[in-house]
Amino acid sequence: MITIKDIASRLNISVSTVSRALRNHPDISTETKRRVIAMADELDYHPNAIAQSLKRNRTNLIGVIVPQVKHDFFATVMSGIADVAYNAGYSVMIFQSNETYEREVLNVKAVMAQRAAGFLVSISKATKNYDHFLQLVDKDIPIVFFDRGCDEIPVSQVVVDDYDGAYQLVRHLIDTGYRRIAHLAGPEYLSIGKQRLDGYRDALKEAGMPFDPALVVTGGLNEEDGLSGFNRLQEQCPQFPDAIFAVTDPVAYGVFQRLREHRYRIPDDVALAGFSDSNIASLLDPPLTTVRQPTYEIGQEAMNVLHRLIQQKQRTYRLKKYVLKTELVVRESTLKKSSTGGRKYE
């Protein structure tokens, strides 16, 4: 591997002069800089990234920790992250916690061992202890949470308005005439689970509809949670709901499967809605009503925030929360074929 010593030897100048010339130091003349750059090109010189990272105690690596990579939501977020990171001169390394606290802790340690410039993290559904993130804060390592935030940690967050998205969706169900609206909720200690449950509860309250705990099933965020959530609704509801709001689209897919197995008509017997507008939502029959998130923009904004943090010596805006808007996407899964228009709940 060619080093700056080789360039210095060829030009008969000192190693320090070559180093400063390559860094465009003002003390080095324009002619010397020209000669050094020309020789570097001729010898196909490339800086030693490992040596540089040891010198400044960090690399240009960004560690991204996500709960699962199988969902197209996180795949699209990571695409936004990668595009901004590439243009800013960073490399991205992706880790999967697989929705477990233990693996998330190991992910953080692995990224720290790589001397990463910063972290982008979406917290696992099992995480209740945040000591591993507080260690990053104590070491002044830049970190930004995205999608799933955590108000207990003093860092910036890039999230969507989960509360309003859920509220608008439930209002749509109410206005369409559904009376017994169930909610398959996410983990109660996870930010998206809490916010979407609050939106559901407040939409019912403002419409003068009672909150029935039997219509709420707390679970996970995947398809299997929709399957089991449907079973629990059957067990605890003497009168089955006429509409189901799932905390995520994958949960809605599990419910969709169960409704088909039990020969429920969607939406005439039971309406169904999800959250995130994943790729499959519009392909179901009937297509799924859901809440669209600006997924790619979440990744872009999170990486932009982290880049600014890395560039600043003083993390002056580490406590800022960036909240992106959602959009209600109404499809046939909540529109009764027999209805002549929306009607208010009385």
Q: Which domain holds residue 116?
A: 59-151+294-324
CA distance 249 to 36: 57
**What is residue 324's three-state secondary structure?**
strand
Question: Does position 341 have pLDDT exceeding 50, yes or no?
Answer: no
Residue 57 has pLDDT above 80, yes or no: no
Asked if 63 and 118 touch (Cβ cutoff 8 Å), the reply is yes
Cβ neighbourhood burial of 48 (10 Å; 0-12, 13-18, 19+): middle
CB 286 within 8 A of CB 333: yes
Percent of the chain at pLDDT exceeding 70 = 92
pTM of the model: 0.79
Tell me the pLDDT tens digit for each residue of 92-139: 999 999 999 999 999 999 998 888 999 999 999 999 999 999 988 888
Asked if residue 309 and residue 267 are part of one domain, the reply reads: no
Name the average pLDDT for the chain: 89
Nearest by Cα to 68 from 185, 209, 175, 225? 225
Residue recorded with tokens 């936004």: 80
Beta strand pairing status for 181-185 and 216-218? parallel
Q: Does 27 reside within a domain?
A: no
Does position 58 have pLDDT exceeding 90, yes or no?
no
Q: What is the pLDDT of residue 244?
A: 98
Residue 342: what pLDDT?
Answer: 36
Query: Domain check: are 283 and 306 in the same one?
Result: no
Beta carbons of 79 and 65 less than 8 angstroms apart: no
Q: Are residues 187 and 86 in the same domain?
A: no
Could you tell me if 190 and 275 lie in one domain? Answer: yes
Gap between the Cα atoms of 30 and 282, Å rounded: 60
Domain count within the chain: 2
- The verdict on 145 and 208 lying in the same domain is no
